[in-house]
Amino acid sequence: MGHKLALLPFINLNCKLMMRTKILTGILIFLSYLSFAQPGGRPNEIKKLIKVETERTALIFAVGADQKLYQLYLGEKLASDGDYKLLNLLNEAYIPAGTDNLFEPAIRMVHNDGNPSLELLFADTSTATEGDVTTTAIILKDPKYPVEVKLVYAAFSKENIIKTWTEIKHQEKNPVILSNYASAMLHLNADKYWLTQFHGDWAKEMRMEESQLTAGIKTIDSKLGTRANMYATPVFFLSKNHQSTETSGEVIAGTLGWTGSFQMLFELDNSNSLRMISGINPFASEYHLKSNEPFITPEFIFTYSASGKGEVSRNFHKWARNYGVLDGHGNRLTLLNNWEATYFDFDENKLTELFDGAKELGVDLFLLDDGWFGNKYPRSSDRSGLGDWQETKTKLPHGIGYLVEQAEAKGIKFGIWIEPEMVNPKSELYEKHPDWILKLPNRDEHYYRNQLVLDLTNPQVQDFVFKLVDDMLTKNPRIGFIKWDCNRMMTNIYSPYLKENQSHVQIEYVRSFYRVMERIRAKYPKLPIMLCSGGGGRTDYGALKYFTEFWPSDNTDAVERIFIQWGYSYFFPTITSCNHITTMGKQSLKFRTDVAMMGKMGYDIRVNEMTKEELEFSKAAVQNYNRLKELIWNGDMYRIISPYDEERAVIMYVNEDKSKSVLFSYALHPRAMNQFSSVRLQGLDASKKYRIDEINKMSGGRGPGMFGGGFQSGKIYSGDYLMKVGLSLPNNSELTSAVIELTEVK
Ligand code: DGJ
């Protein structure tokens, strides 16, 4: 940058010779640009190329003549390495603050002597391959201070996913201060950039919005401490040049594996170059890093596609099932939950009656939700009892063990809700351990849902949480499922345990949560545990390493759910999304069932209030689901028509050998006599023939062969026809739906 400014007085001296000056100016500006853009003044000298590649994507780094590490390329893999060398060294890969950087840095550090700068030069690189995964580590060092920054990139070849994180270490005498510590910095160069973000609130999770980035900074972040999500989800799409569709356009999709405050920052600079920085939110989180203690950032997981959002979602889904989610290919239990059916108003008899409903439906498990604990302060509402994990004697005189037995006697498993990180002020736990709570000295307590957050950074609190789970499972080893809730964010943040390091609280809290989960998983490796956070507050791959599924939202109105589930489907596989059929909303039971079926189906309903016809329909739906769930969970997902584009939504799943598919079609609020075009299917084998069957029909509804104009149930079509001509689906009447099964016929 210095070179460029130094040229200006020289140019002014030549002002009399205007023409010559103009030419000279042009040449000089060009030369000065080269000397700025190409370090060391040696145009594009690449001393070393470092490749991070999947089957289709390449992230290429180069070491320049100045020994700095540059990001040379991010996009579709090029056939020849020589071609990468034709590119310019424009963007330093992981930009430190304090020297010549003029935009947002990836890292900022203040050394022991007060020097607030860092210079990072390439020192070493290594790669290791294990099966499908190649991990590249690049070590950068400061030439003047004993600081090392390791950038790690794990490339998942078949899944086309890159997972990256950073490890920061030093050997200075005293702690250094880290005020920025990105998991990833990525650079893009395009004419235009389109950012898709997902935001909302409680019961309005995952609202999708796309906008064109303008010069300056756009930040997606949260400052919630105990959870990443609520107002903003740690996920994004960035489309280059044009908005991408499901099947076209260059798009990068990224997400951060961190169950706490996060930041994703997009800065468009003076040369229209974009830097994307993702990581823990550095807000109020200055970190005092001790000598030789590595600071390991959370993982940023991303994928790239030159053919639109559908492919990036499928990449995420495959990666998540193979690597990102606990037991990603395992079984999941269909369940009946009592939350919306009873709220806090239940006792032993009412519960055992509900077991009958679960059995009748044919689900695998009954899940007892909030309200089963507390004696001095019984949990009869959300005002009391939280933290006192003993069965309420008046409600459950024979305890949990009896409920497990009763459920099993009826042929179903039993699962239970806990919210172990929280406490009501009206509880014995609060009375006994006031020092176990995150709260500011000299300030009033601040409640959200009448509760406070426990100070999980305190090892005694970690033991308490672990013990609660461990004791319960030791006493009742046949508990088949846990729902782990977290109903509030942090406010008035102060840890009595961490004392002087208050800016560490948010980071240490999440690390402590993972520490507890490590202990639980070491002892109970496969027990299904649902991640829940007052609706969809914890939906991230940091937590999903320990959890088998998540609760997307407390909003179970089926129309709202189409949008919410649609949003999550971009980044998370269906096997993780718990979709329950409830009585919220005005839609028919069939509509609600069809919506829940596009993920991990469950119920939260009073079965004894169903009509005979509804019960018969539901029993058949559970059977259909059991037959199709393998395909829904593990098949490739194709979002065919988005509810954001039309008054309908169509989504389908295709199994690996393309012999089986299921399609869900939902009509929202189409205008009278609306004529929808045929729906062209995707992902099938053009050379195969498929029989089409409508399932989940409700008697009294449409009979066989009655839907739409273009085809009949039971008819056979070629994959070619279905993908080129398509089906005319029955989506003209408001709030109707259809589930269509496609089976290969030989
Ligand atoms: C919030 C969850 O999202 C609900 O499903 C339910 O478990 C309640 N908490 C219970 O308090």
pLDDT, tens digit, 9 for 90 and up, residues 128-138:
999 999 999 99
pLDDT, tens digit, 9 for 90 and up, residues 495-554:
999 999 999 999 999 999 999 999 999 999 999 999 999 999 999 999 999 999 999 999
pLDDT, tens digit, 9 for 90 and up, residues 179-234:
999 999 999 999 999 999 999 999 999 999 999 999 999 999 999 999 999 999 99
**Distance from C-alpha of 605 to C-alpha of 357, rounded to nearest angstrom:** 9
551 Cα to the center of ligand 1, angstroms: 9
Q: Are 545 and 293 in contact (CB under 8 A)?
A: no
State which of 229, 369, 530 you would mutate to test the pocket of ligand 1, scoring each by most atoms of that ligand within 8 A of its C-beta: 369
Q: What is the identity of the amino acid at 48?
A: K
Q: What is the identity of the amino acid at 558?
A: A
Instruction: Catalogue the active-site residues.
Output: 485, 554
Give the other-Cβ count within 10 Å of 703's Cβ. Answer: 11
Beta strands at 121-130 and 133-141: parallel, antiparallel or unpaired = antiparallel
343 Cα to the center of ligand 1, angstroms: 9
486 Cα to the center of ligand 1, angstroms: 9
pLDDT at 30 over 70: no
- Does ligand 1 have an atom closer than 6 angstroms to the CB of 370? yes
565 Cα to the center of ligand 1, angstroms: 18
- Does ligand 1 have an atom closer than 6 angstroms to the CB of 487? yes
240 Cα to the center of ligand 1, angstroms: 39
From the CA of 382, give the closest atom in ligand 1. 11
pLDDT band at 709 (very low <50, low <70, confident <90, very high): very low
Which residue, by CA, sits nearest to atom 2 of ligand 1?
A: 534
State which of 205, 342, 554, 578 you would mutate to test the pocket of ligand 1, scoring each by most atoms of that ligand within 8 A of its C-beta: 554
Using the 8-state DSSP alphabet, how is residue 503 labeled? G
Global model pTM greater than 0.85: yes
484 Cα to the center of ligand 1, angstroms: 9
**Phi, psi for 519 (deg, rounded to 5):** -65, -45
At 677 the pLDDT is: 85
pLDDT band at 699 (very low <50, low <70, confident <90, very high): low
Q: Are 102 and 51 in contact (CB under 8 A)?
A: no
What rounded mean pLDDT belongs to the chain? Answer: 93
Which residue, by CA, sits nearest to atom 5 of ligand 1?
A: 554
**Distance from C-alpha of 718 to C-alpha of 704, rounded to nearest angstrom:** 20
At 42 the pLDDT is: 46
- Does ligand 1 have an atom closer than 6 angstroms to the CB of 534? yes
Mean pLDDT, rounded, for 32-46 = 51
**Distance from C-alpha of 233 to C-alpha of 22, rounded to nearest angstrom:** 51
pLDDT band at 711 (very low <50, low <70, confident <90, very high): low
Instruction: Spell out the alpha helix ranges (H) of 2-59.
Output: 2-13, 18-37
Which residue, by CA, sits nearest to atom 11 of ligand 1?
A: 370
State which of 335, 339, 481, 564 you would mutate to test the pocket of ligand 1, scoring each by most atoms of that ligand within 8 A of its C-beta: 339
553 Cα to the center of ligand 1, angstroms: 9
- Does ligand 1 have an atom closer than 6 angstroms to the CB of 417? yes
Which residue, by CA, sits nearest to atom 10 of ligand 1?
A: 370
Name the token pair of 525.
């490796």
- Does ligand 1 have an atom closer than 6 angstroms to the CB of 364? no
Name the token pair of 254.
């990224």
pLDDT, tens digit, 9 for 90 and up, residues 592-608:
999 999 999 999 999 99
From the CA of 553, give the closest atom in ligand 1. 3
370 Cα to the center of ligand 1, angstroms: 7
pLDDT at 256 over 50: yes
At 672 the pLDDT is: 78
613 Cα to the center of ligand 1, angstroms: 30
State which of 423, 488, 532 you would mutate to test the pocket of ligand 1, scoring each by most atoms of that ligand within 8 A of its C-beta: 532
Which residue, by CA, sits nearest to atom 1 of ligand 1?
A: 534
From the CA of 532, give the closest atom in ligand 1. 3
State which of 485, 555, 604 you would mutate to test the pocket of ligand 1, scoring each by most atoms of that ligand within 8 A of its C-beta: 485
Name the token pair of 36.
């700025």
- Does ligand 1 have an atom closer than 6 angstroms to the CB of 535? yes
pLDDT, tens digit, 9 for 90 and up, residues 87-99:
999 999 999 999 9
From the CA of 369, give the closest atom in ligand 1. 7
- Does ligand 1 have an atom closer than 6 angstroms to the CB of 550? no
Mean pLDDT, rounded, for 451-476 = 98
Residue bearing tokens 């070590």: 139
At 43 the pLDDT is: 54
pLDDT band at 29 (very low <50, low <70, confident <90, very high): very low
Name the token pair of 378.
């019984």
pLDDT, tens digit, 9 for 90 and up, residues 657-667:
999 999 999 99
pLDDT, tens digit, 9 for 90 and up, residues 7-16:
333 334 343 4
Mean pLDDT, rounded, for 635-652 = 97
